[in-house]
Amino acid sequence: MGFEMKTEKDVLSKDQCKVKSPNPNSVNSPHIKKKKKKKKNKSKKTKKTSPPRKRSDSPADEITAVRRLFDTCKEVFSDGGPGVIPSLDKIQQLRDILDNMKPEDVGLTPTMPYFRPDYGPESKSSPPITYLHLHQCEQFSIGIFCLPPSGVIPLHNHPGMTVFSKLLFGTMHIKSYDWVVDAPMSISIAVRDSKTRLAKLKMDSTLTAPCNASILYPEDGGNMHRFTARTACAVLDVLGPPYCNPEGRHCTYFLEFPLDNFSSEEDNVLRGEVEKEGHAWLQERDDKPDDLNVVGALYTGPKVED
């Protein structure tokens, strides 16, 4: 997954996107104890010197799973940009990190309030989805979507992005599409609306954790998708590059229509051939979905530091 909404942007400040540098004073320095002078005895005794103790690494020196993820993202997206897909080796490198991540690596448990069906204001028609912001820079962003049962992230796109999504726990239904770039003229001629395009179904199935991370690309892999939580679930999202309105990477939502809705009666043969492969019309929405209910919350798991 991976999408951004105004409700999230209002919560996230610029300071939260900066990676704090480590505090130089946090390094423990050895303490030197002064020994008191002892009176000399007539009989000198030789002291046995014990070998110096081997210091164990402090917890601060351990590399957490989140830190490994952050370091890998910096490497994978170092030469990235809109429409730029990382090399196969880099994609596999990041996927290996995500495949091994667990809820405890980011400080989450299914018993947290985010995952309760009754969590949040009662006035909303759908349960609220909580977004936890971990990091954002020009090259990539890292965040977590916490969905209670029946939580829905509507059909939306990821323009010019490569997106990695890891289901940390729970069961989720995913339906995704890619644009049809070579649609038959007889199929598309009936559509006069520039905001409506033919799309091909990429995925329509249910995933249950533990499972491998899924990847979508600028023009493949299900760039437009909808997520529906069957149970409480959490999704770790990495976007490269992230959404950016000034650069034209808007999060756009879509309505989904059957192929028959915009096709003419004369196109029965061709329309039937297209339907066998699984197609639909996607119409760009002018506003956000009414049932979209995402709130931001403070991430309290292991820190991401540069």
DSSP string computed for 120-158? S-TTSSS--EEEEEEEE-SS-EEEEEEE-TT-EEEEE--
The answer to whether residue 17 is domain-embedded is: no
Q: Which residues contact 235 (CB under 8 A, 6 or more apart)?
A: 1, 144, 145, 147, 165, 166, 167, 168, 172, 227
Three-state DSSP class for residue 211: coil
pLDDT score, position 7: 40
Euclidean distance between CA atoms 41 and 39, whole angstroms: 6
* Contact assessment for residue 226 and residue 175, using Cβ atoms and an 8 Å cutoff: yes
- In which element (H, E) is residue 97 found? helix 88-99
How far is it, in rounded angstroms, from Cα 259 to Cα 96?
38
Inside any domain, residue 71: yes
- Give CA–CA dist 30/147, Å, rounded: 47
| Assigned domain for 171 exists | yes
> Given strand 152-156, what is the order of strands in its sheet?
152-156, 224-229, 171-179, 196-208, 279-284, 254-257
Provide the pLDDT for residue 262: 67
The answer to whether the pTM exceeds 0.75 is yes
Q: Which domain holds residue 284?
A: 62-297
What is the Cα–Cα distance from 180 to 91, expressed in whole angstroms?
A: 25
Domain CATH for 253: 2.60.120.10
Query: Quick one: tokens of 74?
Result: 């910096």
* pLDDT by position in tens, the chain (length 306): 554 444 434 433 333 333 333 333 333 322 223 334 444 554 445 455 555 544 444 454 578 999 999 999 999 999 989 999 999 999 999 999 999 999 999 999 999 999 998 766 555 567 899 999 999 999 999 999 999 999 999 999 999 999 999 999 999 999 999 999 877 665 655 566 788 999 999 999 999 999 999 999 999 999 999 999 999 999 999 999 999 999 999 999 999 998 877 665 555 545 555 565 688 999 999 888 887 889 999 999 999 976
Question: What is the DSSP-derived secondary structure letter of residue 272?
Answer: H
User: How many domains does the chain contain in total?
Assistant: 1
Instruction: Answer yes or no: are the C-beta atoms of 80 and 240 closer than 8 Å.
Output: yes
User: Do the domain assignments include residue 14?
Assistant: no
| pLDDT for the residue numbered 9 | 40
Residue 306 lies in a domain: no
Q: 277-292 burial, b if ≥16 CB within 10 A, otherwise e?
A: eebbbbbeeeeebeeb
303 domain residue, yes or no: no
